Structure 1
Amino acid sequence: MTRPAGQLGDPSPDVLQGAAAAFGLLASTMRLHIVWILSQGDCDVTGLAERVGATLPAVSQHLAKLKLAGLVHSRREGRRQVYLVDDPALVTVVRVMVDQHGGPYEQRQVRPPDGRSGQVGRVVPAGGVREFGA
């Protein structure tokens, strides 16, 4: 059986296992948020904790897992440990997945267009369609 032109061969089981493990780590909302933040630039654990709305120990534990897997790296700047993602492919994967699910979200709530009181809309995707619950 011949392959069509341009088709790649199958990855080895070890490569697939490594990729599945990386996706497994990114299946955590907080870890995905951390990688999203780091895809925009370097940040220390305090800044990450503020942005994801978590405690320093919780963010540190997630960073340790991401670092152990090689998805996140760090460097020392004086007394601070600064974290970064230096893999353009990982940044691309994370950005594509976030974009596929509505892109970055504004941090505000909106009211329905008819102004009904007592009903607050969901968070609005930047440039996206507003959805309202009953």
Structure 2
Amino acid sequence: MTDDIFQLSEPMEDMLPNMKDRMPPESVTLNMSDVFKILSDHTRVKILYALSLSELCVADIAELAGVSQSAVSHQLRILRNSKLVTWKKSGKQVFYALQSEGVRVLIKKAMEHSAG
């Protein structure tokens, strides 16, 4: 094996201006990093996965995630504030769902990456 395997044959300087134009604004990358921080919690990941399957109430989420309803409520507050989860009231019960199809795709892709 030679040492030149990892050296580029030609500089990429001519590509950098085009690539730089495609970089997202700082505000977008900061928001992305916040999403990844939120996804770093095991309980929140279980909640999001459960909600990727169906709209659910707190009691059902707690049962599926294997944590207390109080813990689920606390985590749902974080998920709502980060705009990953939405809610609607039906009578006295509140049902939670993923905010968008984009969140569902994110959870699905993370699952595929983790299981593969």
TM-score range relative to shorter protein: 0.7 to 0.9
RMSD of Structure 2 on Structure 1 (CA): 2.1
Q: 1:31 is matched with which residue?
A: 44
Structure 1 unpaired stretches of 5+: 104-134
The SS at the match of 1:74 is strand
78, 92, 98: which is aligned to 1:65?
78
50, 57, 64: which is aligned to 1:51?
64
Q: Post-superposition shift, 1:8?
A: 7.0
Aligned length: 103
The SS at the match of 1:99 is helix
CA contact (8 A) 2:59 2:69 kept: yes
Task: Render the CA deviation track for 1:21-61: whole Å, top value 9, x for unaligned.
Answer: 01110110110111111111100000000001101111100
Amino acid at match of 1:23: F
Q: 2:53 is matched with which residue?
A: 40
Amino acid at match of 2:52: S
81, 85, 98: which is aligned to 1:85?
98
Give the TM-score normalised by the residue count of structure 1. 0.70
Q: 2:111 is matched with which residue?
A: 98
Identity, in percent, stands at 22
Give the TM-score normalised by the residue count of structure 2. 0.80
Partners in 2 of 1:101 and 1:85 — Cα distance? 20
Matched, 1:22 2:32: no
The SS at the match of 1:82 is strand
Task: Flag as ranges the 4+ runs of structure 1 deviating above 4 A.
Answer: none
Partners in 1 of 2:90 and 2:21 — Cα distance? 42
Partners in 2 of 1:87 and 1:15 — Cα distance? 17
